[in-house]
Structure 1
Amino acid sequence: MKPNSPGASRHQIQNHFFTTPTEELVQRGFATCQQTMGKSVLLRGLIEFTNHCNCNCLYCGIRRGNQAIRRYRLAEEEILELVARGRELQLSTFVLQGGEDPEWHTDRICRLVERIKAFTGPAAAVTLSCGNRTPAEYRSMASAGADRYLIRFETSDPELYARLHHGQSLAERLDAVRAVQAAGLQTGSGFMTGLPGQTVETELNNILLSKELELDMVGVGPFIPHPQTPLASSRQQGLEATIRATALLRLALPQAHLPATTSAGSLAADGREQMIAAGANVLMPNITTKDFRKDYALYPGKICLDETDIEGAVQGLVPTLATLGKKLSFARGDAPIWSSSNQQI
């Protein structure tokens, strides 16, 4: 696999999707990851800074309509303290994830990014994940020093998307993804496997859409029904679809960063390890203050809620990664495609 390989074609992905056994697909995904990304598994420090959200998505535990959840917003100083702690642990990327919270307006987010960058300098990257904004707002975030932005499309089926998001359109979401790219931010998106109403064809199209968008990062994880949502009684599927999607994404986008997601680890004890074995190359330890971590309840059964020793939890991954031929990396880890394009980051 050459460093600038475009990856498997649409036809090849379709063929693998329908005909390649999971064990072989996993082997292919892992081998491609080794060739293009090496042995390193990158670490990103996750800070869930607000669980307030104006959206009412049917699957999400922090949806506006969930009255059973304790709401919180971290103060800027609390976030900066978490960044300082993360730097002590040698973390070089911080992912600030939150709901679409009107009190965290764009000017405030930009001020926070500027303060983080003043502390870390260029050695650390800031990734934002705070929902739909305007193109001008994405440009403002980039000007403030943000490096990356995550905005998942969740499903490639327009009708299903509208049903899950109370009439919001998939087209608008994809316009937002493209606006993030146009703003000069490294761009992440992704989807869920096993969503109620999602067909086999949609599962394939999720992967093909990720390839079409030429994403720098792709997050994929299983749908897990939350008891305080309208989808509480939906059937829980297993992890195989997520593992297959990980391998296929690695073949389709060999240079994209693929996280081994917490939702996979919540569904299966070795879920994250299975994703790494299929081609994932990123882990995102949660460094949010323990008192608030349990309240960012996107889905039930979330792992790592009670960890107090983040450093120990991170280092505890080392033996498992070694068995997979992998090692932890504290590098900033910009997307290879992005770095090779000679963009300023």
Structure 2
Amino acid sequence: MTATSTKPLSELLAQTEFSDDDIVRLLGLTDPEECEALRQRAFDVTTEKTGNNVYLRGLIEVSNICTANCRYCGIRKDNHTVERYTLTEESIVACALHALHEGYGSIAIQAGERRDPKWIAWISRLLERIHKETVCEELPTGLGVTLSLGEQTYEVYKEWAEASGNPTGLRYLLRIESSNPRLFAELHSTPGKHEKILEHRYQALRDLRRAGYQVGTGVMIGLPGQTLEDLMRDIRTFGEMGADMIGMGPYITSNGADMTALGMMEKRPLMQLALNMISTTRLVMPDINIAAATALETLEPNGRVRGIRHGCNVIMPNITPQTTRASYQLYDNKAGTEVGPESNVLVERNIVEMTGRTLGLNLLGSSRRWAARTA
């Protein structure tokens, strides 16, 4: 190790600039007292740089039809055991209005990846309607919208941005899953019409920035064959692309995917690694939004609360109709598939009681980094 990586942890945590060795050391912490010191520092930096609010994004999983065959995913094209669905426009708008009435401020629209003209036009109409029906006194520009609809062309991103009608609350989450080209290729080794190539993913992220979105990305933590150095380079990649928000979580196997034989980390060390990754990313990029992934809750009860205590400032309560939730299983035993929207109240109450944070109700909750960049 270098001299920097062996300095007292208290001195390392007080820094605002971190070497690669510093980052690897923080990611690899396992001693409970040291992990707690990292957690507390990340929590304090979050308070200082992004405030005391936790922002809500009502998650609507609009369709599990997908043209891609990513090996880790439970709704991959070649999984013929899953029941495919697409919600109706009326159902989706009803979900959006539920979010509005609950004070969420923003929604997230997620689906399997499609690029056909009919789908693109349908999303545009949907965004226009959501905007029209959610402009109100509390939200004069309507609900904020985060899209997570895969790789598209710049022209499609621009069309959807214009349809959303809300440039100050417009976001797109496109995860890279890993910045290691070898790992990325192993995750997406599905040659064909929608073959995944890491450089194409980076180009899509650049196109999103050019189209006016707050740009979000992220990775899976604890992948088979992944090292602490890989995760460090993931954080460096977030910084190099100027990400405004990060959505990342632990890798959990899916019986509907193609990687079950490779296994996964044991839950306890995986949870600690995921929390270390959240906290370290917060220290390196203090003014971004970081979402507490549902996968944390799948590993451990109140996992999202732990995510907030380690540096997250966004949660995405699932407001998808309960009838289709079990069909949107990206990984096994996904938390929240068996309960209705009323369960979100428990999550929200736990956040307030267990973290000392407040809920940012009726607020778009845009990234501070994005606000500074576009001021």
Give me the TM-score of the superposition, normalised by structure 1.
Answer: 0.92
Amino acid at match of 1:113: L
SS in 2 for 1:177: helix
Q: Decide which of 335, 338, 343 is 1:303's aligned counterpart.
A: 335
Q: Decide which of 253, 260, 271 is 1:232's aligned counterpart.
A: 260
SS in 1 for 2:295: helix
Report deviation, 1:209.
0.9
Match of 2:356 in 1: 325
SS in 2 for 1:82: helix
Q: Tell me which moved more, 11-20 or 70-79.
A: 11-20
Match of 2:74 in 1: 61
Amino acid at match of 1:228: G
- Aligned-partner Cα distance in 2 for 1:312–1:51: 22
- Aligned-partner Cα distance in 2 for 1:269–1:186: 30
Match of 2:99 in 1: 86
Q: 1:40 and 2:71 equivalent? A: no
Match of 1:186 in 2: 214
Q: Tell me which moved more, 225-234 or 179-188.
A: 225-234
- Aligned-partner Cα distance in 1 for 2:71–2:352: 35
Per-residue deviation, residues 222-241 of structure 1 (Å, max 9, x unmatched): 11011122211333222111
**Are 2:46 and 2:313, in contact at CA under 8 Å, matched by a contact in 1?**
yes
Q: Tell me which moved more, 101-110 or 333-342.
A: 101-110
Per-residue deviation, residues 189-247 of structure 1 (Å, max 9, x unmatched): 10000111222211211111112111111011011011122211333222111100100
Match of 2:17 in 1: 8
Amino acid at match of 1:138: Y
SS in 2 for 1:35: helix
- Aligned-partner Cα distance in 2 for 1:279–1:115: 34
Report deviation, 1:13.
3.3
**Are 1:216 and 1:257, in contact at CA under 8 Å, matched by a contact in 2?**
yes
- Aligned-partner Cα distance in 2 for 1:87–1:294: 24
Q: 1:142 and 2:152 equivalent? A: no
Match of 2:112 in 1: 99
- Aligned-partner Cα distance in 2 for 1:320–1:56: 36
Match of 2:127 in 1: 113
| 1:18–1:297 Cα change, 3 Å | closer
Match of 2:147 in 1: 128
Report deviation, 1:102.
4.4
Alignment of 1:170-209 (within 5 A): 170-209=198-237
**Are 1:188 and 1:215, in contact at CA under 8 Å, matched by a contact in 2?**
yes
| 1:225–1:312 Cα change, 3 Å | closer
| 1:220–1:74 Cα change, 3 Å | same
Q: 1:251 and 2:283 equivalent? A: yes
Report deviation, 1:319.
4.1
Report deviation, 1:279.
0.5
- Aligned-partner Cα distance in 2 for 1:124–1:111: 15
Amino acid at match of 2:17: A
- Residue ranges of structure 1 left out of the alignment (5+ in a row): 1-5
Per-residue deviation, residues 255-300 of structure 1 (Å, max 9, x unmatched): 1111111011101113212211110011111000000011100011
Report deviation, 1:15.
5.3
- Aligned-partner Cα distance in 1 for 2:248–2:229: 16
**Are 1:123 and 1:332, in contact at CA under 8 Å, matched by a contact in 2?**
no
Per-residue deviation, residues 69-110 of structure 1 (Å, max 9, x unmatched): 000001112111111122121221010000013466322211
Percent identity of the aligned residues?
34
**Are 1:318 and 1:328, in contact at CA under 8 Å, matched by a contact in 2?**
no
Q: Decide which of 32, 38, 44 is 1:25's aligned counterpart.
A: 38
Q: Higher Cα Rg: structure 1 or 2?
A: 2
- Aligned-partner Cα distance in 1 for 2:202–2:87: 29
Amino acid at match of 1:286: N
Q: Decide which of 171, 174, 188 is 1:151's aligned counterpart.
A: 174
Match of 2:296 in 1: 264
- Aligned-partner Cα distance in 2 for 1:44–1:170: 28
CA RMSD of aligned residues (A): 2.0
Match of 1:164 in 2: 187
Amino acid at match of 2:281: L
Match of 1:290 in 2: 322
- Aligned-partner Cα distance in 2 for 1:22–1:35: 20
Q: Tell me which moved more, 331-340 or 102-111.
A: 102-111
Report deviation, 1:252.
1.4
Report deviation, 1:140.
1.3
**Are 2:289 and 2:314, in contact at CA under 8 Å, matched by a contact in 1?**
yes
- Aligned-partner Cα distance in 2 for 1:68–1:18: 38
**Are 1:7 and 1:254, in contact at CA under 8 Å, matched by a contact in 2?**
no
Amino acid at match of 2:239: K
